[in-house]
């Protein structure tokens, strides 16, 4: 009943175009996913595909991740702000505990101001995923 092992890629592309689905390959060196429990999944040289359909973008990452525990030092390296390590020894107020990259991430994902994003992060103990859920 069904053909031998798959559909012609060209035919598949034509069908997707007819349905308004656009697929784009993304060339990336690495992708890091930080889970809500603090684990980091780091994909080196992944195959990434973005699919645009009905106003929604879906990303598919193919590769084998290296699993790492998230730490404060890793967060500082990822944000590219090496000076933040020196600030940790100074006084420890709440502004130093929340990385600027997390504030920008929450603000961009939810459309709120950076100050609202910071408040949500502080309320959620610095967990970006929880802060995003709180604001949605």
- pLDDT tens-digit map of 29-76: 999 999 988 899 999 999 999 999 888 999 999 999 999 886 654 443
Residues 72-88 as b or e (16 or more Cβ within 10 Å = b): eeebbeebeeeebeeee
Which tokens is 44 given?
């080196």
Q: Identify which of 80, 73, 65 has the alpha carbon closest to the alpha carbon of residue 33.
A: 65
Q: Compute the C-alpha angle 118/123/74, nearest 5°.
A: 65
Residue 12 has what pLDDT?
A: 84
Q: What is the mean pLDDT of residues 115-119?
A: 90
Residue 91 has what pLDDT?
A: 43
At 96, is the pLDDT very low, low, confident or very high (cuts 50, 70, 90)?
low
Residue 108 has what pLDDT?
A: 84
Distance CA 6, CA 47 (A): 21
């Amino acid at each position: 009943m069904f053909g031998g092992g798959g559909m012609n890629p060209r035919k598949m592309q034509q069908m997707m175009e007819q349905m308004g689905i656009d697929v784009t390959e993304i060339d990336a060196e690495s992708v890091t996913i930080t889970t809500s429990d603090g684990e980091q999944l780091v994909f080196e040289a992944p195959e990434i595909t973005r699919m645009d359909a009905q106003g929604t973008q879906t990303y598919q990452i193919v590769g084998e991740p290296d699993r790492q525990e998230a730490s404060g030092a890793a967060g500082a390296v990822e944000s590219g702000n090496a000076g933040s390590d020196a600030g940790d020894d100074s006084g420890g107020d709440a502004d130093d505990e929340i990385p600027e990259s997390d504030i920008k991430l929450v603000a961009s994902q939810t459309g709120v101001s950076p100050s609202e994003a910071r408040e949500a992060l502080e309320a959620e103990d610095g967990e970006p995923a929880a802060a995003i859920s709180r604001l949605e």
